[in-house]
Amino acid sequence: MGVSLDEIKKLKELTGVGLTDAKKALTEAEGDFDKALEAMRKKGLTKAEKRGEREAREGIIESYVHGDRIGVLVELNCETDFVARTDNFHELAHEIALQVAAMRPKWVSEADIPEEEKARKREELIAAAKNDPKNANKPEDILNKIIDGQLTKYYSELVLLDQPYWKDDSKTVGTLVKEGMAKLGENIVVRRIARFELGVTED
C-alpha cells in the first residue's frame, strides 16, 4: 500500500527517525498514521515521549473570554522562557483555551480523575448493564469489556487530552500538544485549566 510523502515527513518530525524508517512504519501499519505512531511510541522512538521526561517550569497563563459569558484560564508550561514567548507557543495555548471553552473538559488527563470518581462511575455502569435485559445472557467477561468501553468513551469526553481537537477531530488534544513539542523542541505540559460560565456552577 502506498503512503503519502506528507505523512512520512510528519511521522519523521514527531519521532525523530529517518525517512526510510518512517515510511517502513507507515507501510507496516497499512497507511494508518495513528497506528504507525503508536507502534513507534511502544518502541520508545518518539521525540515527544523523550521530551516528556524533561521538566517544564516556564510557560504562560492563557485567558479567553467568549461573549462575556464564558471565561477560561489555561496554564501551559514549557522548559524555557524563550519558547514561552514564541508565537507558536501562544497559539497552542489559545487553541487549548478555545477547546476548554467549547468542550467543557473536567480534567486535564486521566491521571487527574479521582479514584473515587472512577469507582463511582464504574459501579453506575455495572448497575445499568445488569438491569438491561439485552445483557441477561452475556458472560461476565463480555459485560466487563462493554463497561470498559463505556468508561473509555465517558472519560474521553471529559478528559482534555483525550478529547477530539475542536478544529480537527481526526486528532486528540494530546496529539496537538505532542505536535507542538515536536515543532518547538521542548517538553510542553498542560498544567491546569479552569472554566467559568455565567450563572453555571461547574461540578
26 and 68 belong to one structural domain: no
129 and 40 belong to one structural domain: no
Q: How many structural domains compose the chain?
A: 3
Domain membership flag for residue 52: no
What's the CA gap between 37 and 43, in Å, rounded? Answer: 10
Q: State which residues form the domain around 20.
A: 5-45
pLDDT digits (tens, 9 = 90+) for 87-100: 999 999 999 999 99
Which of the four pLDDT bands, split at 50, 70 and 90, describes residue 22? Answer: confident
Comparing 15-19, 68-72, 94-98, 171-175, the range with the smallest average pLDDT is: 15-19
- The domain that holds 17 is classified in CATH as 1.10.8.10
97 and 25 belong to one structural domain: no
102 and 119 belong to one structural domain: no
Helices 140-158 and 115-130, axial angle in degrees (round to 10): 130
103 and 63 belong to one structural domain: yes
174 and 74 belong to one structural domain: yes
63 and 104 belong to one structural domain: yes
User: Is the pLDDT at 108 greater than 90, yes or no?
Assistant: yes
pLDDT digits (tens, 9 = 90+) for 117-166: 989 998 998 888 878 887 777 787 888 888 888 888 888 899 999 999 99
Domain membership flag for residue 51: no
Q: What is the 3-state secondary structure (H, E, C) of the chain?
A: CCCCHHHHHHHHHHHCCCHHHHHHHHHHCCCCHHHHHHHHHHCCCCHHHHHCCCCCCEEEEEEEEECCCEEEEEEEEECCHHHHCCHHHHHHHHHHHHHHHHHCCCECCHHHCCHHHHHHHHHHHHHHHHCCHHHCCCCHHHHHHHHHHHHHHHHHHHEHHHCEECCEEEEEHHHHHHHHHHHHCCCCEEEEEEEEECCECCC
pLDDT digits (tens, 9 = 90+) for 29-56: 888 888 887 777 666 555 555 555 677 8
User: Is the pLDDT at 2 greater than 70, yes or no?
Assistant: no
User: What does the pLDDT read at residue 63?
Assistant: 97
Domain membership flag for residue 176: yes
147 and 121 belong to one structural domain: yes
What's the CA gap between 199 and 196, in Å, rounded? Answer: 9
The model's pTM is 0.69
152 and 164 belong to one structural domain: no
76, 188 in Cβ contact below 8 A? Answer: yes
Domain membership flag for residue 20: yes
- The domain that holds 168 is classified in CATH as 3.30.479.20
Question: What is the number of other CB atoms lying within 10 angstroms of the CB of residue 169?
Answer: 9
181 and 91 belong to one structural domain: yes
Domain membership flag for residue 53: no
